[in-house]
A and B are shown apart, each in its own frame.
Chain A
Amino acid sequence: MGNTSSLLLREDEIAQIQEKTGFTPNQIERLYSRFTSLDRGNCGTLSREDLLRIPELAINPLGDRIVHAFFQEGTGDSINFLQFMQVLAHFRPIKKNKDLKLNSREQKLKFAFKMYDLDSDGKISRDELLAILQMMVGSNISEEQLTSIAERTIFEADQDGDQMISFAEFCNALERTDVEQKMSIRFLN
């Protein structure tokens, strides 16, 4: 399970991960080497700091949120390789013949939704949206503009009138977007 600091994965571990995430053994090997290279402490787990040490991620406006997403399901401050892979499995391209639950459209959307949902109450409030917008847009746009943008956005998506975007509303708003494409990465073999 990657809890050991050994650099090699055992066959059964690969099989287990493959079963849970749908990655091919090659991909797992490849990702495992990435995992170990990120793991500075050689402890078989990644901490937030490990991830944030990636320079590009550190300057990504949503870097914090993305890192946070890795740790949402796991417990504590570190994730092991399986958990790491489970998060990544969200981004596997959807294949027609074998569809796993992790990379379905809904899961992808859920991942994006969680980016906004700062307090994880299942709804995007105006303030949450505003906060994310601020992260993305930066400081050049005035608060006033951003606020009205956020309100406009919520108003547009809000269907039940609670001034929040629920996950269902979120999915509706992105109905016509090719989420399957946009939120998939071609993992190298």
Chain B
Amino acid sequence: MCAVHAARPASTDFGGAAIDGNGGERTEKANGNRGRGGRVIERERNIWLRLIHSARRSTLDWHSPSDRCDVRTSATGTRGNDLPALRTKPRPAPPSGLARFMHCIRVHQSASSTEEPAGGSHKKDHDRYPVFSVEFARVETPFIIGLWIFCASLAKIGFHMTPKLSKMFPESCLLIVVGVVIGVLLFHTSSGVQVSPLTPDTFFLYLLPPIILDAGYFMPNRLFFDHLGTILLFAVVGTIFNAIAIGTSLWAVGQSGLFEFDTPILDMMLFGSLVSAVDPVAVLAVFEEIHVNEILYIVVFGESLLNDAVTVVLYHMFEAYSEMGPANILPVDVASGIASFFVVALGGTVIGVIWGFLTGFVTRFTHQVRVIEPIFIFVMAYLAYLNAEIFHMSGILAITFCGITMKNYVEANISHKSHTTVKYAMKMLSSSCETVIFMFLGVATVNNAHSWNTWFVLLTVLFCTVYRFIGVMILASLANKFRLHQLNGVEKFVMSYGGLRGAVAFALVLLIDKNIVNLQPHFVTTTIAVIYFTVFFQGITIKPLVRILNVKRAEKRKPTMNERIHEKLMDHIMAGLEDVLGRHGNYHVRDRFKRFDTKYIRPWLIRDNKGAEPKILETYSKLTMKEAMEYMRRNASTIAAFPGTESMSTLFRNCTQTNMDARWGSGVRKAQNDDPLFAALAQDSFSFTQLDSSVQNLDMQELEYNPSKKDLTDAKIHHLLSEELCKPRRHRRLSYSRHAVNDRDLSTQEVNYKMHMNMRHIISGKHHHKRSKKLNKEGKPHVSFPGITQNGSVKQFTHDYINEMLEESDSNDVDEARPSTSGLNDGPEGGIVFTAKSTPTNTDEAVVHTEDPHPKDPGKRSSRADSEEEAVHVTPTATETVLPWKRDDEAEQCTFPLKQQEFPGWCSNKEYLAYNSPSSTFLGGLDQPKVASVIGLFRRESTVDQEMARADAAILVIEECPASPVPSAVVCGTPPAPPKRPSSARRGSLLELGASVDPIPEEEAGTPESSANKSPPWAQRRRRKQGACSSSYEDFRSNEVGLLVTCGGPVGRVGGCVVGRGGAALSARAASSESELARDRVSRSVSASAATGNKKRRCRSSSSDAAAAASDRDKETQIGEEQDAGGQRGCHASAQWGSS
């Protein structure tokens, strides 16, 4: 006996104590406590007793019908005085078998007691220390609860193991079935189970809140508030309509005597009110599976959430009325009932919102103790729920709005890990609660207290369905009058069909006092029937119906950056338009709230406020993160998929030892001195060389580098890692603390923007390739590399840099050696070199203009170069044939005639042009005035700005004029202006000027010449480039080491990468210096033809990685500069803004 009581949950104890204090449940009832809690207590205690009893019976297999009976009667009979004596001393209990057994297994507990029950026959054992003792009673309740959850979850797993079942039936149905099965088992093992463990209190206090919190917290706020009007209409008016219609209809039918029992109107209304409410749990369970479009979902689900207030009020109102009796109801009662609706609904909402804000405020300070962040969210939401229940307000509304309110602020405060924790914990709690609820519902079905009345059940089901349909149709057409999105017929149908009843109704019907409402057993049975009908019939058929009716399905996706930004823009537009129209619609209200929120609320609740549009930033960081993750994943698989392909080490395999010694011996030796790793590498590669020398070319000049996919991905990963992972920003904790989570690197807010650029840069390789193909098809001049088919995109990408590097050294060499031929140079420096010659003519300029079909291509830099290029193709001289940068193209493309192949690949590489050019950073970017071009443009109509614009334009023109004594220089400066907007430059548009401000390499061709800089620009560039090269080499090495250190796991692989890439860096460095030597030699040896072509390519490839590194570096600096420029522009813009 005492064991049984001790095992009761605390809440029940509390309730029991309250009852005792009041001298019994009737007194308590008379006190007029209308709460859910008080009234149920007696029933609930019974239930717990029975449940535990039955569970024990089944667990311990203790068969003694008389004992069972004994315990039950005593449990109910001695309820009044058993609690105070609960644990202090064993109360003299009737000597029942069960009690005896319990004493038997709890010997050591009763050892201290002096008084033994009358039938205690085990006294002699009590002072001996037991070797082994069983004490089930102490853990009984939690054990059984755990067992239930375990079973339910197990059942859930079971369904998903059988895809056939889970495809056909909604989960809720299957869970109910399992519950019924368990219920039958329990029923037959112990006939005492009358009602299942699903008591109203367990349901309302423990099972429901997690589900509703989950719903509120992950509620799509925007959608919810957009459709709030419709939702409220359905939730309030619809529910009231349904309740009254069902109640009166049943009453009317009852008057005809069909039911064979009396149907008082108030009882029927009470029943109608509880059975009319659409259940959030059931709706969630079904609608999450059918994936209807979001508007449909939010309307039905929102209705099911918000109708709680109505249900609660109606239920309590009619309950109180039926207690009073129809005769005693005064109009004031009706009025107070209506008033109480507002109190319950608004009170619940306000409580929820307050707790939501409080949660946001609390999480503002949790950044030192990240681990406890999630608990605040759960506990404070739960407190909101209980708080509302204290005042008999709608707890569901409270916890829903608490979730809705806290979400935005909490999410900004908590760490990424906490966010994940919250998300998963919430989903886990809600889904297990849902499981348990449905299962308990099934168990509850099996009892012998049913009072089935076929007509009553049938008519209730019928009325529920019919009135649901009628209500939805009427209200939807009413709502359509005020809605932008019109609910069409199919949607109306799904809305009415989705009106499922569930456990809320069941819990409410259990709350009805049998002594006041005599029909309660009927109600229980009928409610169960209605629930079964809706959950089974409608739940199963709604899926095929949705498919048949072709309801718009929801697509689960994350918004792209564009969508996010453009949608925000549209919001602003719409808000602005509503203002113009003078209407205070949705957008206006949202706009206003947002402003208020940003200005007053967010600063208080959010630790580091991110400005007006946190969503944009959020989307951005999410996308960037996702991209990076995906990239890593993809590459990991790529690496795994190509284990046998050649890597960077093939580069070394292809090198002869002699060449290495001769060419970059010094470099290697230096590297060896620097780093033992490289020493090992060098040794390794030497041995390789000897091994493969028979197969591979012996001559360094014949070296052909075939970057495999793996190499390229290696390189990419390296860049990624070097950006993201290898930065020495590890934070060493000085003191150990047990609960500390070091999430320095977890926060989503902090995005490595450089990494993003890198990602983009890498990914852009693909696009670039496609583009180039397309251009070729269109007949636009473009240099293609037909020889390269496999992963050509990236190859071209690397090629660009190689090309550029080579051209650099080319121009240097050639210029020094043979300045007369420098005009032939077709590298990026062509224009520059050409102007150094400064012998252009006006005809040349004309040529450029006429035969430039690709005007955006800045590669058209110098007219002279063009014409000479043409000449080259007509009659290639010996020198020209020898020139490696010439012959390279020819060697690869001689199969078919190509027009204007003088443009290297990078010319059409837009990515490269816009951002990656190293030269624009220093030469183009720095010495240009940074003008706020865009804003000026945007407000072009304002005369002040226009004047300013003109002034700017004038300045620029003046700058350009003296620097362009020759017409070609002007030509060089103008190509960036595309013909699509031909007037842009002429009309003094600021954007054009802004373009020249921007370090787009378009003026890379133009500005060096036009600037009055007398020192040869290519020399500067070259110097800088070499610096970048070597420094990037340093970078490489340090990064590799870091990589090796950080990724301790797959040392072999990473180490391999390190070796390979380190080698590449090394070789690249060497190659960059070597290319000069090589070219010198080449220029001397006229006879070499094909070999030199190869050699050229080899040089390129070997320097590819270094070039890529260099370009990365350049890009970084360039980005920095761009940002600088942007900053200045922004300042300028704001200044203009202020002045206007």
- A interface residues with partner B (beta carbon < 8 Å): 31, 34, 37-38, 51, 54, 56-57, 59-66, 68, 70, 88, 91, 93, 111-112, 115-116, 118-119, 121, 125, 127-134, 136-141, 143-149, 151-153, 155-157, 160-163, 170, 173-174, 176-177, 179, 181-188
Contacts and interface: CB of A to CB of B under 8 A. Distances in A.
A134 B566 CA distance: 14
Contacts of B751: 145, 148
B504 to A, nearest CB: 32
Contacts of A183: 570, 573-574
B757 to A, nearest CB: 7
A170 B565 CA distance: 12
B767 interface: yes
Contacts of A152: 561, 620, 623-624, 756, 760
Contacts of B623: 152
Interface string B599-612: 00000000001111
B1012 interface: no
B934 A128 contact: yes
A132 B569 contact: yes
A131 B753 contact: no
A89 B84 CA distance: 77
Interface string B1124-1140: 00110110010000000
B617 A141 contact: yes
B560 A156 contact: yes
A127 B569 contact: no
Given A34-B581, A152-B623, A173-B562, A140 B610 contact: yes
Contacts of B856: 162
Contacts of A141: 610-611, 617
A106 B770 CA distance: 28
A9 B585 CA distance: 26
> Closest 3 A-B residue pairs measured CB to CB?
A140-B611, A173-B562, A66-B576
Contacts of B575: 56, 60
Given A119-B991, A155-B764, A176-B563, A112 B569 contact: yes
Given A149-B616, A149-B620, A63 B576 contact: yes
Given A60-B572, A130-B1126, A173-B563, 19 more contacts: A57-B580, A60-B579, A62-B569, A88-B577, A88-B580, A121-B981, A134-B1133, A136-B616, A140-B610, A141-B617, A143-B1127, A147-B1126, A149-B620, A156-B560, A163-B914, A177-B567, A183-B574, A185-B578, A188-B583
A157 B767 CA distance: 12
Given A152-B561, A161-B911, A173-B562, A66 B577 contact: yes
Nearest to B581: A34
A137 B580 contact: no
15 contacts: A56-B576, A88-B581, A118-B937, A119-B989, A127-B934, A136-B568, A137-B617, A140-B609, A147-B1126, A155-B764, A170-B566, A173-B562, A173-B566, A183-B574, A186-B484
Contacts of A132: 569
B938 to A, nearest CB: 4
B1115 to A, nearest CB: 12
B569 A118 contact: no
A30 to B, nearest CB: 9
Contacts of A65: 938
A72 B937 CA distance: 14
Nearest to B910: A161
A102 to B, nearest CB: 14
Contact of A163 (B612, B910, B934, B994): B910
Contacts of A138: 611-613
Contacts of B998: 127
B26 interface: no
Interface stretch (B56-64, B466-474, B587-595, B880-888): B587-595
B562 A160 contact: no
A14 to B, nearest CB: 18
Contacts of B1123: 143-144, 147
B771 A160 contact: yes
| B: contact size bracket | 35 or more
B760 A62 contact: no
Interface in B972-1013: 980-981, 984, 989, 991, 994, 998
B933 interface: yes
Interface in B863-909: none
Given A130-B1126, A186-B482, A54 B580 contact: yes
B1023 interface: no
Given A118-B937, A148-B753, A152-B620, A177 B767 contact: no
Contacts of A170: 562, 566
B909 to A, nearest CB: 9
A133 B760 CA distance: 20
B484 A118 contact: no
A84 to B, nearest CB: 9
A111 B771 CA distance: 29
Contacts of B989: 119
Contacts of B760: 151-152, 155
Contacts of A121: 980-981, 984, 991
A60 B939 CA distance: 16
Contacts of B981: 121
B565 to A, nearest CB: 6
Nearest to B1120: A144
Contact of B933 (A60, A127, A137): A127
A127 B995 CA distance: 10
B582 interface: yes
Nearest to B563: A177
A118 B572 contact: no
Contacts of B716: none
Given A37-B582, A148-B753, A188-B583, A131 B934 contact: yes
Contacts of B725: none
Contacts of B571: 182
A187 B570 CA distance: 17
A149 B561 contact: yes
A134 B1119 CA distance: 18
Contact of B566 (A61, A149, A177, A188): A177
Nearest to A139: B611
A56 B767 CA distance: 43
A186 B483 contact: yes
B596 to A, nearest CB: 12
A148 B757 contact: yes
A61 B573 contact: no
A62 B484 contact: no
Contacts of B485: 181
B616 A137 contact: yes
A45 to B, nearest CB: 15
A145 B577 CA distance: 29
Nearest to A141: B611
A66 B567 CA distance: 15
Nearest to A51: B580
B569 A56 contact: no
* Highest count of chain A CB atoms <10 Å: which of B557, B573, B616: B573
Given A63-B576, A121-B984, A186-B483, A149 B617 contact: yes
B577 A61 contact: no
Given A140-B610, A151-B760, A161-B910, A111 B768 contact: no
B223 to A, nearest CB: 11
Contacts of A88: 577, 580-581
A145 B617 contact: yes
B677 interface: no
B567 A182 contact: yes
Contacts of B581: 31, 34, 88, 185, 187
A187 B582 CA distance: 11
A187 B577 CA distance: 11
A74 B120 CA distance: 103
B714 to A, nearest CB: 24
A156 B768 CA distance: 14
Contact of B937 (A62, A119, A140, A182): A119
B227 to A, nearest CB: 12
B555 interface: yes
